[in-house]
Amino acid sequence: MTDIKSMDMAELSAFFQGLGQPAFRARQVFRWLHQGVGNFDEMTNLPKTLRDGLTQTCILSPPVVERKQVSVQDGTIKYLWRLADGNCIETVLMRYQHGNTVCISSQVGCRMGCAFCASTIAGKARDLTPAEMIDQVLFTQLDSGAPISNIVLMGIGEPLDNFDTVMRFLALVNHPGGLNIGMRHISLSTCGLVQGIDALAERELQLTLSVSLHAPDDETRSRIMPVNRSVGVERLFESCRQYFARTGRRISYEYAMIDGVNDFDWQADLLAGHLKGTPGHVNLIPLNEVKESPLRPSRRVAAFQKRLESHGVTVTVRRKLGGDIDASCGQLRRKQMLAEGDGREQNPGREGTIGERKRGEVSV
């Protein structure tokens, strides 16, 4: 079966040309696909024979809402979608003054192994397809009725570990015949895969790159983020500096504040030192507690912020949305997996994680 929604315009054109269809067909079908039609029969301006042919040869399996949680505090909606193969992923709709933002997943699970993150506990099952990434935006918009103006790739998975798919997704949502969301309205968050950052820099996209830093020193960062064990903080900042030089886009550094781990003044001083000479912005995140992890939220967020600011660093503290609905990464999917008896408690992951961390073994 052909994954027609993952095709770009050039591929669609070739596809319909191969079927002996007129040139305008690709644009017509692209428009339908990116409006989120549930089946080919809804493409009413297509000849019936073509609709039947597409039904037989192409997949168009929209995700099904498995669970939906609406925050009474702020209207945040968290979706747990069931994909065609039975896997579940999460998408979060957040309502900000500057527009509705959808936070989407890029993989089913994650193999990065960060100690504080619920998404990675059971490893990575598989990558998402471009269509499955677009569907999260489309069907969140259709189900909620909220027009989406911003996308953040900060859900389950590591976007730069699914690089080609994510690049295709970006081109598709950016297309004027589809969702037409501008690159400046898209953020991509990475745990710091330097080859991916370097490759992204070469594309010179105008999106916002967020780097999940979480610690400015190798000892701490390697302890909580296995990705740091092979590529240290120095090398990561080297890629960040190159990224800024190439794109002119300021990087946003995510920093989840963990009690007694990364919240000391000397770490604020070290972080400020790394940022010298490269415009960047630090986003402090109050840690969301994950049941399986011994890590606890820091009580020094304001003090850490002050210390950074004393060095001239621009700092914001992330406002917590959807705190009443497990809206933090991977928590709802995790709940569902445990309910279905697929928590993989004994097994570090279907594909394993890049670190050799065993659960419960985080030394803090």
- Applying CB under 6 A, the span of 10-18, 47-55, 200-208, 284-292 interacting with ligand SAH comes to 284-292
Minimum CB distance to ligand SAH, residue 198 (Å): 17
Pairing of strands 88-96, 77-82: antiparallel
Residue 329 makes contact with ligand SAH by CB under 6 A: yes
In the bound state with ligand SAH, the residue whose beta carbon lies nearer, of 60 and 128, is 128
Q: Give the residue from 209, 225, 211, 306 showing the smallest Cα distance to 258.
A: 225
Residue 205 makes contact with ligand SAH by CB under 6 A: no
Among 285, 313, 315, 332, binds ligand SAH (CB under 6 A): 285
- Applying CB under 6 A, the span of 83-91, 114-122, 167-175, 266-274 interacting with ligand SAH comes to 114-122
Please state whether 257 falls in left (phi above 0), alpha (psi between -120 and 50) or beta. Answer: beta
272 in helix, strand or coil?
Answer: helix
- Applying CB under 6 A, the span of 3-11, 32-40, 187-195, 307-315 interacting with ligand SAH comes to 187-195
Beta sheet of 64-70, edge-to-edge order: 64-70, 77-82, 88-96, 99-103, 148-153, 186-190, 208-212, 251-257, 280-286, 314-317
Q: Residue 269: which H helix or E strand, with range?
A: helix 265-275
Residue 256 makes contact with ligand SAH by CB under 6 A: yes
Among 6, 91, 144, 190, binds ligand SAH (CB under 6 A): 190
Residue 321 makes contact with ligand SAH by CB under 6 A: no
Q: Give the residue from 337, 290, 329 showing the smallest Cα distance to 125.
A: 337
Residue 133 makes contact with ligand SAH by CB under 6 A: no
In the residue annotation, 117 being an active-site residue is answered as no
Q: Which residues contact 49 (CB under 8 A, 6 or more apart)?
A: none
Residue 243 makes contact with ligand SAH by CB under 6 A: no
Task: Specify the residue for token string 């009725």.
Answer: 145
Residue 107 makes contact with ligand SAH by CB under 6 A: no
Question: d(Cα 165, Cα 173) in Å, to the nearest integer?
Answer: 12
Minimum CB distance to ligand SAH, residue 48 (Å): 44
Among 21, 136, 144, 212, binds ligand SAH (CB under 6 A): 212
DSSP 138-178: HHHHHHH-PPEEEEEE-SSS-GGGGHHHHHHHHHHHH-TTT
Q: CB of 254 within 8 A of CB of 211? A: yes
**Catalytic hit among 90, 132, 158, 254:** 90
Phi, psi for 356 (deg, rounded to 5): -100, 15
Residue 181 makes contact with ligand SAH by CB under 6 A: no
Phi, psi for 229 (deg, rounded to 5): -70, -30
In the bound state with ligand SAH, the residue whose beta carbon lies nearer, of 127 and 254, is 254
Residue 91 makes contact with ligand SAH by CB under 6 A: no
DSSP 73-115: TT--EEEEEEPTTS-EEEEEEEEETTEEEEE--SEEE-SS--T
Residue 253 makes contact with ligand SAH by CB under 6 A: no
Residue 33 makes contact with ligand SAH by CB under 6 A: no
Residue 140 makes contact with ligand SAH by CB under 6 A: no
In the bound state with ligand SAH, the residue whose beta carbon lies nearer, of 285 and 321, is 285
In the residue annotation, 204 being an active-site residue is answered as no
Q: What tokens were used for 167?
A: 């690049």
Minimum CB distance to ligand SAH, residue 286 (Å): 7
Residue 170 makes contact with ligand SAH by CB under 6 A: no
Residue 158 makes contact with ligand SAH by CB under 6 A: yes
In the bound state with ligand SAH, the residue whose beta carbon lies nearer, of 148 and 282, is 282
Task: Specify the residue for token string 């010298």.
Answer: 276
Site residues for ligand SAH per CB under 6 A: 114, 116-117, 154, 158, 189-191, 212, 254, 256, 285, 287-288, 290, 328-329
Q: Which residues are catalytic?
A: 90, 329
